[in-house]
């Protein structure tokens, strides 16, 4: 597997295929991030596509290739918030908004609470959890992709899982 830093360098040099590989690697993480804000699968996909476009246009400004996953997910979250704001403005301007016939996929309803809880994690931990459990990457692949030592990835992922366990067993008062 090609390292993320190498793909970014190639993308910055104009290799569109390298950026396409970055999109393939991070697409699910971006959609999960945008869906956590929008709660609409199609809107989340649109916001995700916009995030990738913005990332591509601003790739030259990325000084640390290892920061790409967090940087991209921050862009995705910002785009989702913008999309939510636009949708809210449109809904208030037109109170006769029609409901969409195509709702979120089955997994979206089943995992809504999980995605919401993931949203509470710090950005760097959420990135690791999504790469490991949504994209199914190995610890070695995540370490290579993020440019972090495997021990750091393991420790940070363990902390994230501990937080999630705690939050899932908390009983609302």
Query: What is the second-level CATH architecture of the domain 4-169?
Result: Orthogonal Bundle (1.10)
Query: Is the pTM above the cut of 0.85?
Result: no
What is the per-residue DSSP string for 108-165?
Answer: HHHTHHHHHHHTTS-HHHHHHHIIIIIS---HHHHHHHHT--HHHHHHHHHHHHHHHH
What pLDDT sits at residue 171?
A: 54
Residue 23 pLDDT level (bands cut at 50, 70, 90):
very high
Question: Stretch 60-81: mean pLDDT, rounded?
Answer: 89
Residue 83 pLDDT level (bands cut at 50, 70, 90):
very high
**Secondary structure (3-state) at 49:** helix
Distance CA 153, CA 83 (A): 32
Distance CA 63, CA 66 (A): 9
Per-domain residue ranges for the chain? 4-169
User: How many degrees, rounded to 5, is the angle at CA 147 between CA 10 and CA 9?
Assistant: 10
Question: Stretch 70-83: mean pLDDT, rounded?
Answer: 91
């Amino acid at each position: 597997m090609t390292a993320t830093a190498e793909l970014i360098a190639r993308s910055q040099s104009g290799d569109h295929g390298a950026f396409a590989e970055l999109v393939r690697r991070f697409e699910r993480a971006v959609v999960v991030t945008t869906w956590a804000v929008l709660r609409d699968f199609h809107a989340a996909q649109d916001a995700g596509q916009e995030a990738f476009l913005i990332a591509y246009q601003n790739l030259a400004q990325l000084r640390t290739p290892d920061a790409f996953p967090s940087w991209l997910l921050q862009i995705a979250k910002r785009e989702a918030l913008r999309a939510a704001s636009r949708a809210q403005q449109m809904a208030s301007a037109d109170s006769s908004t029609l409901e969409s016939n195509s709702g979120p996929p089955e997994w979206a309803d089943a995992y809504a609470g999980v995605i919401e809880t993931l949203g509470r994690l710090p950005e760097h931990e959420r990135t690791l959890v999504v790469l490991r459990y949504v994209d199914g990457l190995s610890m070695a692949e995540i370490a290579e992709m993020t440019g972090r030592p495997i021990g750091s990835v393991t420790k940070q992922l363990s902390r994230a899982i501990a937080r999630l366990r705690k939050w899932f067993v908390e009983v609302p008062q």
